[in-house]
């Protein structure tokens, strides 16, 4: 149970930092990081990554995150989340 909480916290932090710190022109690197967490590690990590992305999309009012997350290419969703998170971090 504790390990699952640590994994959840780490996955959320990794995704959040990647989305906020992504620089213009480095979209492919950002997408690679997110895709690795979604598909290349472990089913628990992948599930948590998708849950977090879904929650962030809902939080920022991005419509139909479920449909976007079912696709392999989630470029538009990731870029929209990155823009929204950067804007929010600038306001703080």
Contact (CB, 8 A) for 63 and 76:
no
Residue 68: pLDDT band with limits 50, 70, 90? low
Q: Which two tokens stand for residue 34?
A: 């997110």
pLDDT digits (tens, 9 = 90+) for 26-39: 888 888 888 888 88
Query: pTM of the predicted model, to two decimals?
Result: 0.78
Q: Which two tokens stand for residue 11?
A: 């996955």
Mean model confidence pLDDT for the chain: 82
Q: Is 22 helix (H, G, I), strand (E, B) or coil?
A: coil
């Amino acid at each position: 149970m504790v390990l699952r909480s640590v994994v959840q916290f780490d996955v959320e932090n990794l995704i959040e930092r990647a989305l906020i710190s992504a620089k213009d022109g480095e979209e492919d690197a950002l997408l690679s990081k997110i895709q690795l967490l979604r598909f290349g590690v472990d089913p628990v990590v992948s599930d948590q990554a998708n849950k977090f992305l879904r929650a962030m999309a809902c939080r920022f009012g991005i419509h139909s995150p479920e449909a976007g997350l079912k696709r392999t290419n989630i470029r538009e969703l990731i870029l929209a989340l990155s823009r929204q998170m950067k804007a929010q971090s600038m306001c703080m």
